[in-house]
Structure 1
């Protein structure tokens, strides 16, 4: 409402005149109907007859921020003009659109979709949305180079890098990708473990060891990483991968999770009675997976029985833990499945003996599932392999009253574990990493000879590191971290997000308590003194971080800390590569099955590494 009305009154809303409060004159409202009324005559009357009040009115009008201001002609034309493509505003918006495409797995063609274009037109009418070709050929490579440069800077002064690698073949097009993911410890930020995808390159031709070795060497060359800086390469147990690492002459280790897969299949799932029970269970799950009617009936039964409404888990042949989850879901829904079988046909049924066998199978496999979950986390390292195997052997060898009917299963699995992991305590990549993990040290080796060989390997590695550090011009003192170096760090134990009861609870602590090392004669060499001092100190809780420990204690044990940075950067599984290919399957999908290898690599690279630049 105009401020002029503070000087006038109306008899009613339809009155053709307004009465001036100052002089009581009746002033025309400038029209014959309500639709035509205006305030021009009222303002003119104030201006000619009441100058003082008119000045107050115009001042109030200028101060009223809620009063809509008419746009100037120049401003109106500027609002109609589009931003130049290279303007800062347009460039910023384009960058955000590319980030949106990368982070949310959107197709490059999204910039041509009607809904998206209408949204951008509404948000910023002056922005000219580029086409798919500009995003693909200009904007995406620009972001790729920026992220690549950022990772190059992060890797610049790193002396030891571990890698995981694997090959993936798409289900929707004839494309294979060879991945290379780097892992290292960033000592500039208090011993923080880092990882970055370097490549997910299209891999053409035969998947032989020679071709794989040639491709990986080319990747290292592109990143200017000498093979002398390669600490270890984590791979699967395929022969072509083993041969490739031998061709490259770099240290390599098999994936711990893949070896556990072989242990379970060889030790348990290959037994005829177990296989038959699993086959029947698999048929039951498939019945509900392929029939919406059967699924609806099962859900109704679950509600009638006051059970949680859950669907059965389908297993995957290449992942034994998926078989564990399938059996677990079957046992959980045993009542509803039995009720379903009483009223409707099932392709297979489980006998009472088979149900009991599945329950025993779950009991035996529980510690394997728990270890697989723990070792597949992003923070697990090669240092955890020897302690985990030691605990697993002790658990399988222990007899108790609950083992009735499953002793044979446990014995078979124990033999498989001993067979598959019989050489791990002779592998320096494992033994030295275990010694340098302050949670384990030398407490989990199974014999005096193993401890002796492990300490010998550690001594050699520390001496090599000491020689390397002495030849470098950078002073170790510059890397010291403030804090009290005499105390090991304590971290708040994080609650386990899983509701599963731990099958390994107490075994790690039990081994620590039972450990009673026979001390040899003390040595006077600086290397031996540093090692002995470290090993004789108490281990830190298993829930604490070894990286935080070394970040605090590197000033006390400078050479040991540098060696720890080298050996603890190695993961124990190639799960990172498998997770990478889950991203790849979301990018190279049915909607984008014609995506080229170069563009696919850029999208995968950015999807995994862009958070490092954006600090998400």
Structure 2
């Protein structure tokens, strides 16, 4: 992809020119990938929200003070290797323990939650097998770890769906920051220190969403939250200066984009439709016989074009009405439902922009999941499945759960 943007200049041209191609070629591939946020093409390069959240969660594996997880993995490994211990847990509670995987999202939380759920059976099985088990203080610390990771697992499960709008990203991040702030005050010293580090990591990795003063800040995510009334109402009454500043940035971004779109539409109305190309000489006689020519066809092209009607409301008026509706109760369940019910005449600029922004997904895991599934379906002896591959992938992705 980076190579596609590199255009090599001819050999006879001066390589020290100040053109954009020379500046791109002088940088390394990593610099080109980072700086090619496609500003010249009018596009933004946005990292996946769910992948970034999992990078924050993986900090828990690098924290030396949280050693209880290593002991938990050892206990889970012993039980999974012993069929006798596994069968004993299955007979008592119908469940078994599960190990975590670095490439599987929320697997650490699921491992901790399952071990806490079968705590009594695990303690009895470990005593019968002569294995070391967790102490009371370690079980309490493990409970705190579960409470720390649970909101991350819940938001990951929500945002990874392709039906979730990008407007849910901003409230999810603020919800996680509030949760980490609560954990710092109500847990042990080790877990509180980890929560403090995770809070700083969230602010650092999501500075392009949360910090308007950041160089890579993009108001697009805040604009999606602002245009979703079911989400924006939650943040309007929050006494936080950062949230209010983000909503202000979002409002300015929406007004700017709507005015640009409105200017383009007005320009098209003034210019009118493009003139049709001249017909060929061979078909001119047949066209003249079938259609009647205007009497003053040479004079008609000098007519003044009618001015567009000024009955449409401005972007500021549309924005004022939308903010008034935010102060009232919203009965719609989703933002798309809210804007689809709006009048096209009044919200002629705000409605199309809102529908476009709210249609953007919060993350890209769904597309990657399709690639992984199609890769699994073409392994081994099934690598010649060409016609049935698309159908098999469709059935696997849409199977009833």
TM > 0.5 between the two?
Answer: yes
Change (3 A) 1:283 1:247: farther
Whole-angstrom distance in 2 between the partners of 1:246 and 1:536: 36
Aligned mate of 2:246, from 441, 445, 450: 450
Q: Aligned partners of 2:395, 2:40: CA distance in 1, in Å?
A: 30
Q: Which residue of 2 aligns with 1:271?
A: 63
User: Which residue of the partner structure matches residue 334 of structure 1?
Assistant: 119
Task: Write the deviation string for residues 50-92 of structure 1: whole angstroms up to 9, x where unpaired.
Answer: xxxxxxxxxxxxxxxxxxxxxxxxxxxxxxxxxxxxxxxxxxx
Larger radius of gyration: 1
Provide the rounded CA distance (Å) in 2 between the counterparts of 1:457 and 1:424.
14
Cα–Cα, structure 1 residues 456 and 248, in superposed 2: closer, same or farther, change >3 Å? closer
Write the distance in 1 (CA, Å) between the matches of 2:146 and 2:218.
32
In 2, Cα distance between the equivalents of 1:561 and 1:365?
Answer: 38
The alpha-carbon deviation at position 576 of structure 1 amounts to 0.6
Spell out the pairing of 1:257-268 with structure 2 (5 A cutoff): 257-266=50-59, 268=60
How many angstroms does 1:448 deviate by? 4.5
Between the two proteins, the alignment pairs up a number of residues equal to 317
Partners of 1:433 and 1:564 within 8 A in 2 = yes
Query: Any idea what the Cα deviations from partners look like across 1:465-487, whole Å, max 9, x if unmatched?
Result: 223444668xxxxxxxxxxxxxx
CA distance in 2, matches of 1:337, 1:212: 56
More helix by share: 2
Given the superposition, is the C-alpha separation of residues 289 and 258 from structure 1 closer, same or farther in structure 2, using an over 3 Å criterion? same
Deviates more, 1:405-414 or 1:562-571: 405-414
Q: TM-score, normalised by structure 2?
A: 0.68
CA drift at 1:461: 0.8
For residues 248 and 585 of structure 1, what CA distance do their matches in structure 2 show? 35
Q: Tell me which residue corresponds to 1:380.
A: 164
Q: Is the 8 A contact 2:219 2:253 kept in 1?
A: yes
Pair 1:349–1:468, CA change in 2 (3 A): farther
Q: Residue 545 of structure 1 corresponds to which residue in structure 2?
A: 334
Structure 1 partner of 2:180: 396
CA distance in 1, matches of 2:100, 2:3: 33
Of residues 84, 87, 96 in structure 2, which corresponds to 1:311?
96
Aligned partner of 2:220 in structure 1 is 429
Displacement of 1:280 in angstroms is 2.2
Q: Which residue does 2:349 correspond to in 1? A: 559
Counterpart for residue 364 of structure 1: 148
Matching residue within 523, 535, 541 for 2:323: 535
Separation in structure 2 between the aligned mates of residue 353 and residue 239 of structure 1, nearest angstrom: 48
Instruction: Describe the shift of the 1:294–1:246 C-alpha distance in structure 2 as closer, same or farther (beyond 3 A).
Output: farther
Q: Is the 8 A contact 1:393 1:414 kept in 2?
A: yes
Following TM superposition, by how much is the alpha carbon of 1:458 offset from its aligned partner in structure 2, in angstroms?
0.9
Matches within 5 A, 1:224-235: none
Please report how far the alpha carbon of residue 241 of structure 1 lies from its aligned counterpart in structure 2 after TM superposition. 7.1
- Conserved? CA contact 2:168–2:362, under 8 Å: yes
Query: Secondary structure at the residue paired with 2:349?
Result: helix
Partner of 2:366: 576
The equivalences for 1:404-415 within 5 A come to: 404-405=188-189, 406-415=191-200
Q: Which runs of 5+ in 2 are unaligned?
A: 7-29, 211-216, 270-311
Question: Structure 1 564/270 Cα, relative in aligned 2: closer, same or farther at 3 Å?
Answer: same
Label 1:532 to 1:315 Cα distance change in 2 as closer, same or farther (>3 A): same
Contact 1:298–1:340 at 8 Å: present in 2 too? yes
- Give how far 1:371 is off: 1.4
Indicate the residue corresponding to 2:79 in structure 1.
Answer: 288
Structure 2 residue 47 is matched with structure 1 residue 254:
yes
CA apart distance, 1:412: 2.5
Asked if the contact 1:432/1:455 (under 8 Å) is kept, the reply is yes
Question: What is the TM-score normalised by the length of structure 1?
Answer: 0.46
Question: CA, structure 1 residues 271+603, in 2 after alignment: closer, same or farther (shift >3 Å)?
Answer: same
